[in-house]
């Protein structure tokens, strides 16, 4: 947005254009940044500019924001307990059993799994539906635990730093890590926060994580064929549904080599473990609730494709159809709210977002989006309540204070707006939001 457009935008009085809405919801920045340590997997000393305590700290700061971007942890208590139980079995048999791992089945529809450096692991319902055995799930979790135990994120950030890449500029657009661009813009996650921490692993990292994954899963009592089946499933999806798997491959490079390596390890080094169980029936039993709404999830995946192509009306149709199958599905309700927002139908959007809040009051994303929709309807008092609730549920996002400042400004509560904009800037708020905040503070003599 050009300077003259910034100056012409009056958040206190006027409604925003769609472009200005996207600007308001744009990404804010965060920051990270310790010496020589022994790699837990290789036993070799290496230079890593991130300590284990740093890993835990940035995990606590940033993983909750990514989880919210993925519509939160599933409300299916049986499924969550099942995933967490398998994860705990894998984690305690890894090279870093002392890590406080957290295993989360997420409400996102896209096919992916990821790990933050402090042990937070997310597995989307999209990939849970794509698998058909507990051994595959154990392989997937083992792979992600492998990224944590081998400290791949810390290694990558060290290499970036040593190559002269400023850590604060190493972020990637978080839209490539979440289920759609609107989520990214709405949440305003920091660049170095989720984006860089979940950025692309090298092929070498992936090979090592695969090898560790098959080691951990067999230690936990599963057949190594689970890893072979997982790789085969991912390869098949890359051919039949490339858009569904695109995000996973953007961070986890896939190749026929990885499939062949899994086969070779399963029939060679781990051949004696092939008689161990796959637990297909147990997997189906524990994912039954998810499979009951699989048709709704498929329609939401179609809607995500429509949203990515700017076909908002088609997305609304697909989402309304999905909600006929699963009327209480938080993801579908939030997505429908976003689809209406992109058509500037903020009253309609907030109707669905209020339903989402009712369905899952502990999850923050709908609160934030509802606040934006309410601001667009010139309801700053109600919007302020939403943003304050969002801040309580999901602290640590500088953008929250920016929106709180805008809400107070609309209410002519200048002292409160001043405090909120100052807090936003003190937390490292940057970009056009920071320009706007500074301009308002200057105009008020603050």
Read off the pLDDT of residues 86-114 as tens digits, 9 standing for 90 and up.
999 999 999 999 999 999 999 999 999 99
Q: Rounded CA gap, 32 and 428, in Å?
A: 12
Mean pLDDT value across residues 292-302: 98
Helix (H) or strand (E) holding 176: none
- Residue 174 to residues 14, 27, 28, 177, 179: CA-CA distances in angstroms? 29, 8, 11, 5, 10
Quick one: pLDDT band at residue 165, thresholds 50, 70, 90?
very low
Domain ranges of the chain: 39-289, 293-385
Inter-residue contact 93 to 220 (CB < 8 Å)? yes
Q: Rounded CA gap, 339 and 306, in Å?
A: 10
Q: Rounded CA gap, 27 and 115, in Å?
A: 22
pLDDT at 349 over 60: yes
pLDDT at 184 over 80: no
- Which of 174-183, 201-210, 232-241, 276-285 reaches the highest mean pLDDT? 276-285
The pLDDT value recorded for residue 418 is 98
The pLDDT value recorded for residue 157 is 76
Helix (H) or strand (E) holding 312: helix 312-325
The pLDDT value recorded for residue 25 is 45
Report percent pLDDT > 90 for the chain.
69
Give the residues across from 73 on adjacent strands.
Answer: 106
Inter-residue contact 315 to 337 (CB < 8 Å)? no
CA atoms within 13 A of residue 247's CA, in its CB half-sphere: 28
The pLDDT value recorded for residue 343 is 95
Quick one: pLDDT band at residue 45, thresholds 50, 70, 90?
confident
- Residue 402 to residues 121, 183, 433: CA-CA distances in angstroms? 30, 17, 7
The pLDDT value recorded for residue 116 is 94
Quick one: pLDDT band at residue 223, thresholds 50, 70, 90?
very high
pLDDT at 27 over 70: no
Mean pLDDT of the chain: 85
- CATH superfamily, domain 293-385, is Tetratricopeptide repeat domain (1.25.40.10)
Quick one: pLDDT band at residue 17, thresholds 50, 70, 90?
low
Inter-residue contact 335 to 300 (CB < 8 Å)? yes
Nearest-CA neighbor of 20 among 35, 31, 9?
9
Inter-residue contact 95 to 151 (CB < 8 Å)? no
Mean pLDDT value across residues 185-203: 55
Mean pLDDT value across residues 139-158: 90
Mean pLDDT value across residues 263-291: 98
């Amino acid at each position: 947005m050009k300077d003259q457009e910034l100056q012409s935008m009056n958040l206190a009085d006027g409604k925003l254009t769609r472009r200005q809405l996207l600007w308001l919801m744009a990404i804010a920045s965060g920051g990270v940044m310790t010496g020589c340590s022994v790699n837990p997997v290789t036993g070799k000393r290496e230079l890593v500019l991130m300590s284990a305590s740093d890993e835990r700290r940035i995990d606590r700061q940033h993983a909750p924001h990514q989880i919210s971007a993925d519509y939160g942890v599933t409300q299916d208590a049986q499924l969550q307990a099942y995933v967490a139980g398998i994860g705990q079995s894998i984690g305690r048999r890894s090279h870093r059993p002392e890590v406080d791992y957290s295993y989360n089945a997420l409400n996102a529809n896209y096919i992916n799994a990821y790990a933050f450096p402090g042990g937070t692991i997310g597995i989307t319902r999209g990939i849970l539906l794509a698998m058909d055995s507990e051994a595959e799930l154990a392989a997937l979790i083992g792979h992600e635990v492998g990224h944590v135990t081998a400290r791949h994120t810390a290694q990558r950030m060290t290499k970036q730093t040593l190559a002269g890449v400023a850590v604060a500029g190493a972020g990637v657009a978080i839209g490539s890590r979440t289920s759609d661009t609107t989520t990214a813009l709405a949440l305003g996650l920091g660049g170095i926060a989720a984006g860089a921490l979940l950025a692309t692993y090298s092929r070498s990292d992936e090979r090592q994580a695969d090898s560790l994954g098959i080691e951990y899963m067999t230690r936990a009592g599963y057949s190594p064929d689970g890893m072979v089946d997982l790789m085969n499933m991912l390869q098949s999806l890359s051919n039949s549904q490339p858009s569904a798997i695109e995000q996973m491959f953007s961070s986890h490079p896939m190749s026929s080599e990885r499939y062949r390596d899994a086969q070779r390890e399963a029939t060679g080094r781990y051949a004696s473990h092939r008689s161990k169980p796959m637990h297909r029936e147990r997997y189906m039993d524990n994912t039954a609730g998810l499979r009951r709404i699989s048709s709704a999830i498929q329609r939401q995946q179609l809607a995500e494709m429509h949203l990515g192509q700017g076909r908002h009306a088609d997305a609304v149709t697909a989402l309304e159809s999905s909600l006929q199958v699963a009327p209480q599905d938080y993801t579908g309700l939030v997505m429908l709210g976003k689809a209406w927002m992109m058509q500037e139908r903020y009253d309609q959007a907030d109707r669905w977002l209020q339903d989402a809040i009712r369905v899952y009051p502990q999850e923050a994303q709908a609160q934030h989006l509802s606040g934006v929709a309410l601001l667009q309807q010139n309801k700053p008092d109600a919007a302020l309540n939403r943003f304050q609730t969002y801040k309580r549920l999901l602290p640590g996002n500088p953008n929250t204070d920016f929106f709180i400042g805008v809400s107070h400004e609309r209410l002519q509560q200048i002292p409160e707006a001043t405090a909120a904009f100052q807090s936003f800037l003190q937390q490292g708020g940057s970009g056009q939001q920071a320009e706007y905040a500074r301009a308002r503070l200057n105009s008020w003599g603050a």
